């Protein structure tokens, strides 16, 4: 399980790093496939998935990403759900530019 979890984080990191590349207008999020995979999920899992999808549908990609990323640790997901989750997070990473590190930006100026 630890190997799978490490692998998922590696895929997620690659997706975030490469998020700034390519034409963002051509990037799409396949919500229908994700919803289909999670249609039979347990109620608690489905609630998190639905909340993430709702954020995505309202163009809150960062919020949807954060919500769905919490499912990575859930051991109750089926293989189909894990694959759909990884695909969705990768697609979202293409739409969400990484935030600059606070140390690189520095604190806000004092007034």
Residue 85 pLDDT exceeds 70: yes
Distance in angstroms (rounded) separating the CA atoms of residues 21 and 33: 24
Burial of 90 (0-12, 13-18, 19+ CB in 10 A): middle
Residue 33 pLDDT exceeds 80: yes
Q: Do 26 and 52 form a contact (C-beta atoms < 8 A)?
A: no
Residues 38-60 have pLDDT tens digits of: 999 999 999 999 999 999 999 99
The separation between the first and the last C-alpha atoms of the chain, rounded to the nearest angstrom, is: 50
Q: What was the pLDDT predicted at 28? A: 80
Distance in angstroms (rounded) separating the CA atoms of residues 32 and 53: 10
Residues 17-27 have pLDDT tens digits of: 444 444 343 34
pTM listed for this prediction: 0.65
């Amino acid at each position: 399980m630890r190997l799978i979890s490490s692998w998922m984080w590696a895929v997620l990191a690659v997706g975030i790093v490469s998020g700034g590349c390519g034409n963002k207008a051509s990037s799409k999020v396949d919500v229908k496939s994700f919803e289909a995979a999670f249609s039979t999920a347990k109620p608690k899992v489905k609630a998190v998935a639905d909340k993430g999808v709702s954020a995505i549908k309202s163009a809150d990609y960062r919020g949807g990403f954060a919500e769905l990323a919490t499912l990575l640790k859930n051991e109750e997901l089926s293989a189909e759900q894990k694959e759909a989750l990884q695909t969705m997070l990768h697609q979202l990473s293409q739409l969400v530019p990484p935030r600059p590190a606070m140390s690189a930006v520095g604190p806000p100026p004092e007034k």
